[in-house]
Amino acid sequence: DAGITQSPRYKITETGRQVTLMCHQTWSHSYMFWYRQDLGHGLRLIYYSAAADITDKGEVPDGYVVSRSKTENFPLTLESATRSQTSVYFCASSEEGGTFFTQYFGPGTRLLVL
Amino acid sequence: GEDVEQSLFLSVREGDSSVINCTYTDSSSTYLYWYKQEPGAGLQLLTYIFSNMDMKQDQRLTVLLNKKDKHLSLRIADTQTGDSAIYFCAEILSLGKLIFGAGTRLAVHP
């Protein structure tokens, strides 16, 4: 009954390092999403995935890479972290991608880039 | 482009009603959502309203939708300290993409 989990919950890294944030869901939902939350901006979509091996860009994809080799996992990689990527990152999943399906959110990963 | 706007802060006394307002821009949105975020936690779906409805009531929560003005509101009756959180309004676009407002921080004081 885990639902959707994210790891790590907190991460401190340095500029230029590669960082991978993990997201895992146990519902076998088709769609998964990555958002970042910044003060004054609400949540903004980084990438989403409609199924395994199908991914697409959201509103703010620059500097991020995603993959989805298995339905239940959707890792987000910062290839060369920058200070502007300091944020709280949320993963979400939904059964389908249409407008009728609720998105369920993970607890978030707080990332600090020094 | 798409945009969702909300006031950033609301303070109410315990037992009073809270009203959080939101305006959105995409008239084709089929669903509009309210999410709640407690400190250190993810977003929890509170309620939603289908675009052909004017009002939806769910226990202490009442959602009002004015499609003409693209205005959405969330009323919480008998506000409790446990209601203190950030409330996000969101509209849904094609392929399930959610556009969020910046969030309204609700503070409930005795």
d(CA A25, CA A2): 8
Q: Do B97 and A45 count as a contact with CB atoms less than 8 A apart?
A: yes
Minimal Cβ distance to B30: which of A48, A99, A108: A99
Q: What per-residue confidence (pLDDT) applies to B97? A: 77
In this prediction, the residues of chain A whose per-residue pLDDT falls under 50 are none
Other beta carbons within 10 Å of A22 = 15
Identity (one letter) of the amino acid at B39? P
The token pair at B16 is 């009073």
Q: Give residue-wise pLDDT tens across range A51-63.
A: 999 999 998 999 9
For the stretch B18-32, pLDDT in tens is 999 999 987 777 789
Question: Is residue A4 within 8 Å of A23, Cβ to Cβ?
Answer: yes
Instruction: Tell me the residues of B at the A interface, defined by beta carbons under 8 Å apart.
Output: 4, 8, 29-31, 33, 35, 40-45, 48, 88, 92-98, 100-103
> Nearest residue of B to residue A99 by CA position?
B96
How far does B80 lie from chain A, in Å, by closest CA? Answer: 23
